[in-house]
Amino acid sequence: MCVSNRDLFHGFSLQSVDDKGRVAIPADLRETLDANSPAKQVLITRHPTLPCLVCYDAGWAQELNDRLNNLARAAKAEGRPFDEAAERRGLRAEKATYDANGRFVIPSYERDRAGIGKWAFFVGDSDTFQIWSPEQLVAADIDDDDLKDRCRHYAAAKKVTL
């Protein structure tokens, strides 16, 4: 089960959020979405611990679901305890479609909780990608100075003051 033949999400980008709440998914990440699933859709969840969003394609959602089912079956067969309901909560997600320009509307609950305003910082993370409010990121109490630094660099390049 080594080769899943999926494209990975790589790259970083600071994108503007317009007055309608739309953001363009950076071309690099969108390319991966399109490669992994023909549906022009992106699944959006809150990160379990960090104040950011986690996004992926429909194919990855299926993969996660399959794995969970396999774990549940194995646990049951071996009589181990397995809180399937809890595990399944981690798979809940919003679904959004993106248009020909690669834009979608960040669902209001997710946008609100991630504190996303005028700008959205995209972070490719292999099987998924994250979306941060740049302001939240640089202020966050996390051990990832490089990401914060990178965010500042991208902000400066677009003349955005955080």
The residue ranges that bind DNA (CB under 7 A) are 13, 15-16, 18-21, 23-27, 30, 96-97, 99-103, 105, 158
Measured from the CB atom, is 60 or 154 closer to DNA?
Answer: 154
Measured from the CB atom, is 25 or 54 closer to DNA?
Answer: 25
CA trace torsion 112, 143, 122, 137 (10° rounding): 40
Helix and strand totals (H; E) in the chain: 6, 8
CB 144 within 8 A of CB 152: no
State the binding partner of 33 from a copy of itself, DNA, none, CB within 5 to 8 A by kind: none
Q: Which of the residues 50 through 79 are near a copy of itself (CB under 8 A)? A: 50, 58, 61-62, 65-66, 68-70
Residue with tokens 């990832």: 144
Q: Which stretch binds a copy of itself (CB under 8 A): 14-22, 81-89, 114-122, 132-140?
A: 81-89
- DSSP track, 31-82: HHHHHH-SS-EEEEEE-SSSSSEEEE-HHHHHHHHHHHHHHHHHHHHTT---
Q: Which amino acid is at 58?
A: A
Point out which residues bind a copy of itself (CB under 8 A): 1-4, 8, 10-12, 28, 43, 46, 49-50, 58, 61-62, 65-66, 68-70, 85-86, 88-89, 91-95, 108-109, 112, 123-127, 143-144, 146-147, 150, 153-154, 157
